[in-house]
Structure 1
């Protein structure tokens, strides 16, 4: 008997506004994602991909339908419970890095552990290990202004994985980077997926970036139009 999927969306809809101003961003999304998968989410602006990512990241709730994460019925949780789920199961990487400008790389990576109330000694150790994992050993005391764009995104990835999340949500992670640096960042994300088993959900507009994923889904006008597996798990 096969294991149940890590993530399951069933009949997910999302409507913003009411009456004549209502806009249905999602129109019945069914999607299952297994632990360890690497999914690229594509589609034009307004297709529903960002709304889906917000729901998957417990940042928003569906209007109707079911969202299960690790057999937890997410849409039934209170806001504080969803925050706990985010804190313990999910890591986030954004296009704009979102680093605190006047703090060091080490302090930026420690932030999620501060929110979890972990003591300073274990925070320092975990943050140093995460920076080493992304190739930034020796850069702990540098501020974002002293780092290249690629290095800043590596710090952001270290911050996302320092809590050892099961799922990494990446929103256009290479959008602010040049081609060579984009390739390096994507190779790092592939490594985290394959070596650490982190499930990766990534929004991208770029086919060459989506090609790094094992599976590509396309959204159009609030519907999931296609779901293609690119390659088998190594």
Structure 2
């Protein structure tokens, strides 16, 4: 659910800039970005190559630090945190899904999903239970012991999503999550992400260049030349149509 208008947003960017390099070689990827994202929102970030959308995503996910400006997460000034503090924030509150599935090839789905919990130092029994729940949530119950080579592209991305949500993050950051999938599998993955947003309340921020995928979001934010060019609500997300169609199918 979207937060009330007078509530503090989960994420607030104000005047965010990002400059790579120095002097004559300096390149300004972000040029003063203002953006609010409420808890439970689903935002698609779009824009042409070089528009700053990926840099914005890296900044939002605490993978990169802005050059200037304010980044508040739950009221905390992220831009003032040390590298270690940003890493702790990232591990606690963020899950990541990438275009490349980034799964360990010789490792089972269960073990791939457990990795973030292993890094946290969770006990084996807790890891196994959490990974089983996450795989069940993405429709892969019964596939726990299969390696990536034994899974389709869509199933591999489901494993990657399970790995992203196994820590129960507040925010799911998805960077071109359907970029390596055919149309049918892409729609399956988008419906899954939409359900995670709707049913689990996970805030979703997704970078995509595909309008059909962005149609699942509640807001479409377009970057051009390092700034937010438009921020348009989507009152009829595609996930609503898919859910309505599924509800009317005969059982």
Q: Please give the TM-score of this superposition, normalised by the length of structure 1.
A: 0.98
CA distance in 2, matches of 1:71, 1:106: 35
CA distance in 1, matches of 2:58, 2:77: 16
2:104 maps to 1:83: no
Alignment gaps of 5+ in structure 2: 241-251
2:213 maps to 1:203: no
Which of residues 127, 130, 133 is equivalent to 1:126? 130
Which of residues 50, 54, 77 is equivalent to 2:54? 50
CA distance in 1, matches of 2:17, 2:93: 23
Alignment gaps of 5+ in structure 1: none
Which of residues 32, 52, 64 is equivalent to 2:36? 32
Q: CA deviation at 1:232?
A: 6.9
Name the Cα RMSD after superposition. 1.1
Match of 1:157 in 2: 161
Pairs within 5 Å for 1:48-197: 48-197=52-201
Q: CA deviation at 1:71?
A: 1.2
CA distance in 2, matches of 1:123, 1:210: 33
Number of residue pairs matched?
Answer: 234
After TM superposition, what 4+ stretches of structure 1 lie above 6 angstroms from structure 2? none
CA distance in 1, matches of 2:101, 2:138: 14
Q: Please give the TM-score of this superposition, normalised by the length of structure 2.
A: 0.92
